[in-house]
């Protein structure tokens, strides 16, 4: 379903939508549940027949034949429970996998801004804990509700045929019981939502604590991290305590009504026997049916708790699936082909928040194949300016054009296929070096990956590793040095070979010797390609065709290295400062 369809459909329509591809398994599950309910209903009726007719009349052969049939029915019932347990859970797992697939796909479509505002641990909680509860509801919910309903209604029908007055007493007690159960369920649902929120929060703290464990150790702040986690853990315990209180009230209510129901049957049944309106056999049969009530009622109890947890998870899932990506392809978006690399920023302004503008009226025009360096103090807007070109964010005003086409009028996929970015913060996946480089172009051959590694000056390092290109890099590349991680990310861009390059501090983690080697390769790669280089180290951008100085969201200077040095402005001051400290 699309985001718009998620917005238009109710939560239950969304829920049952995921049943459709697996409806055969669902109906098998429900059919087995029906047979189990019929077996449970038949046993008291068969017992009554035996006590009324077979035993008093001495039909022992028929009696034992019936008992053999009963044993066979209970054997079948056990097999049906096996079917429900195995295939029912298979159905639930398939529903869960479909939901998780859609959720992850939707997360991939969300914009950078969404992930700026939401923490990883909270999103992981929605992909794991919430979906487990939805799966339990998908499998056990309809099954338990169906078995309970058929068993209770069937038992009441038989009881009315035996003694309507006593059956009426049971019927009057049941609605009160179900009403109270429903109210208790609402309390559990509210408490369950709070638990899920706290679970997401504690998952976030765990993710943050584990990701930052090296920093915590470096500052000897393990105690502070433990204290933060303890606060979150205590909040989780409090929310869980409230849920267990609600569950305790629910279970206490259920047990009370079960006992009251049995006591009422005995009391009223005894009074009817005294009046000659009922006999002991019918009272025993009634008690058997009341006993048959216990399992369905307990299933309803489990269903109430399951529904509370699953519905809370379903609400959180639906909330996320209804979230529109901030940036979407225009309905008539075109596919970029044969890009030459002309970039035009026409009076561009940008703000992450309405009250905090980052760029102000930027007017910049870059020729195809030109190399432009963007320098300036930290926080001036250099990276933000370059992130607008592949449309990681949309401009607040003005326009960004590639080959004369507004980037908002082309598909994001084709735009980003033509723009290569080596980001300042290197991210490597927990995989092999080979697969991390191949991420630049997933269909690349191993020979192409090796060539990209050579051009990024990382090939010799890889060859010295125990498993070569099959070396595991660790979580976020922790088993590699900073320079190695940076060069692997550069190898990705060589493999991708796009017409537009954005190098965001691409050599910041390299030593001067390796940097010089890679700089030569960059110069070679930049030929015939439009290249933007964001750099703090000004010695790496001296040969750029143009250098922009960005300060406080404005382009304050523009020109070649020689022109800017002669101007003796911001660039010259930065250059002299670096040479002085160098």
Cα distances (Å, whole numbers) of residue 149 to 33, 37, 41, 156, 164: 11, 9, 12, 11, 20
For 227, counting Cβ atoms within 10 Å of its Cβ (0-12 exposed, 13-18 middle, 19+ buried), the class is exposed
Structure-block tokens of residue 125:
């909680």
Q: Band of the pLDDT at 76, cuts 50, 70, 90?
A: very high
Region 255-265: mean pLDDT is: 79
Q: What pLDDT, on the 0 to 100 scale, is given for residue 546?
A: 92
Q: What pLDDT, on the 0 to 100 scale, is given for residue 207?
A: 66
Neighbour-count burial for 194-222, b at 16+ CB within 10 Å, e otherwise: bbbbbbbbbbbbebbbeeeeeebeeeeee
Asked if pLDDT for residue 199 goes beyond 50, the answer is yes
Region 479-499: mean pLDDT is: 82
Statement: the pTM of the whole predicted model exceeds 0.75: no
| Residue 242, C-beta contacts closer than 8 angstroms, at least 6 positions apart | 191, 194
Backbone angles phi, psi at 295, to 5 degrees: -65, -45
Instruction: Say if residues 222 and 185 touch (Cβ distance below 8 Å).
Output: no
Structure-block tokens of residue 519:
């700089």
DSSP notation for 23-59: HHHHHHHHHHHHHHHHHHHHHHHHHHHIIIIITTTT-
Region 14-19: mean pLDDT is: 86
Asked if pLDDT for residue 79 goes beyond 90, the answer is yes
Q: What pLDDT, on the 0 to 100 scale, is given for residue 511?
A: 67
Q: Band of the pLDDT at 281, cuts 50, 70, 90?
A: confident
Q: What pLDDT, on the 0 to 100 scale, is given for residue 582?
A: 46
Asked if pLDDT for residue 258 goes beyond 50, the answer is yes
Q: Band of the pLDDT at 401, cuts 50, 70, 90?
A: very high
Q: What is the DSSP letter of 536?
A: S
**Using one digit for the tens of pLDDT, what is the confidence trace for 438-458?**
888 888 888 998 988 888 878
Region 307-313: mean pLDDT is: 79
Q: What pLDDT, on the 0 to 100 scale, is given for residue 119?
A: 67
Q: Band of the pLDDT at 365, cuts 50, 70, 90?
A: very high
* Domains with residue ranges and CATH for the chain: 3-321 (1.20.1560.10)
Place of tokens 């020729």: 367
Region 478-504: mean pLDDT is: 83
**576: helix, coil or strand?**
helix
Asked if pLDDT for residue 518 goes beyond 90, the answer is no
Task: Tell me the pLDDT of the chain averaged across its residues.
Answer: 81
Asked if pLDDT for residue 222 goes beyond 80, the answer is no
Q: What pLDDT, on the 0 to 100 scale, is given for residue 60?
A: 78
**Using one digit for the tens of pLDDT, what is the confidence trace for 543-554?**
888 999 998 888
**Using one digit for the tens of pLDDT, what is the confidence trace for 101-159?**
888 888 888 777 777 776 666 677 677 767 777 887 887 788 888 888 888 888 888 88
Instruction: Say if residues 131 and 95 touch (Cβ distance below 8 Å).
Output: no
Asked if pLDDT for residue 510 goes beyond 70, the answer is no
Asked if pLDDT for residue 579 goes beyond 70, the answer is no
Give the integer Cα–Cα distance in Å for 389 and 496.
17
């Amino acid at each position: 379903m699309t985001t718009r369809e998620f917005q238009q459909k109710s939560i239950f329509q969304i829920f049952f939508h995921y049943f459709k591809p697996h409806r055969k398994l669902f109906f098998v599950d429900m059919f087995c549940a029906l047979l189990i309910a019929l077996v449970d209903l038949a046993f008291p009726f068969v017992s009554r027949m035996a006590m009324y007719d077979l035993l008093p009349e001495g039909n022992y052969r028929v009696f034992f034949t019936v008992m053999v049939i009963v044993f066979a029915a209970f054997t079948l019932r056990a097999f049906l429970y096996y079917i429900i347990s195995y295939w029912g859970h298979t159905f639930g797992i398939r529903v869960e996998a479909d939901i998780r697939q859609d959720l992850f796909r939707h997360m991939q479509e969300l914009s950078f801004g969404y992930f700026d505002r939401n923490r990883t641990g909270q999103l992981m909680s929605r992909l794991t804990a919430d979906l487990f509860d939805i799966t339990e509801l998908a499998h056990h919910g309809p099954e338990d509700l169906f078995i309970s309903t058929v068993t209770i209604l069937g038992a009441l029908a038989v009881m009315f045929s035996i003694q309507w007055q006593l059956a009426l007493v049971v019927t009057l007690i049941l609605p009160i019981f179900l009403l109270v159960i429903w109210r208790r369920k609402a309390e559990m649902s509210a408490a369950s939502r709070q638990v899920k929120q706290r679970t997401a929060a504690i998952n976030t703290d765990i993710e943050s604590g584990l990701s930052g464990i090296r920093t915590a150790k470096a500052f000897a702040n393990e105690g502070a991290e433990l204290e933060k986690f303890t606060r979150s853990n205590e909040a989780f315990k409090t929310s869980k305590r409230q849920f267990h209180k609600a569950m305790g009230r629910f279970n206490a209510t259920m047990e009370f009504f079960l006992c009251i129901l049995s006591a009422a049957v005995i009391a009223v049944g005894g009074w009817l026997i005294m009046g000659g309106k009922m006999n002991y056999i019918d009272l025993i049969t009634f008690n058997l049916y009341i006993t048959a009530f216990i399992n369905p009622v307990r299933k309803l109890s489990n269903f109430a708790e399951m529904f509370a947890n699953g519905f809370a998870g379903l609400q959180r899932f639906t909330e996320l699936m209804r979230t529109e990506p901030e940036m979407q392809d225009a309905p008539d978006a075109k596919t970029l082909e044969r890009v030459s690399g002309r970039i035009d920023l026409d009076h561009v302004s940008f703000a992450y928040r309405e009250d905090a503008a980052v760029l102000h009226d930027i007017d910049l025009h870059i020729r195809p194949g030109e190399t432009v360096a963007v320098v300036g103090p930290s926080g001036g807007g250099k990276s933000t300016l370059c992130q607008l070109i592949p449309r990681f964010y949309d401009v607040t005003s003005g326009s960004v054009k590639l080959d004369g086409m507004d980037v908002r009028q082309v598909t994001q996929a084709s735009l980003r296929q033509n723009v290569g970015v080596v980001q300042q913060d290197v991210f490597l996946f927990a995989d092999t070096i080979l697969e991390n480089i191949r991420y630049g172009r997933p269909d690349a051959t191993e020979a192409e990956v090796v060539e990209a590694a050579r051009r990024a000056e990382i090939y010799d390092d890889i060859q010295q590793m125990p498993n070569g290109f099959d070396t595991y890099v660790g979580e976020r590349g922790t088993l590699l040095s900073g320079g190695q991680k940076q060069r692997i990310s550069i190898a990705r861009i060589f493999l991708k070979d796009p017409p537009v390059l954005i190098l965001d501090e691409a050599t910041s983690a390299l030593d001067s010797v390796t940097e010089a080697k890679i700089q030569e390769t960059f110069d070679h790669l930049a030929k015939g390609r439009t290249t933007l280089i964001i750099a703090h180290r000004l010695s790496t951008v001296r040969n750029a065709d143009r250098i922009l100085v960005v300060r406080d969201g404005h382009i304050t200077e523009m020109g070649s290295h020689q022109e800017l040095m002669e101007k003796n402005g911001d660039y010259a001051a930065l250059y002299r400062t670096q040479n002085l400290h160098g």
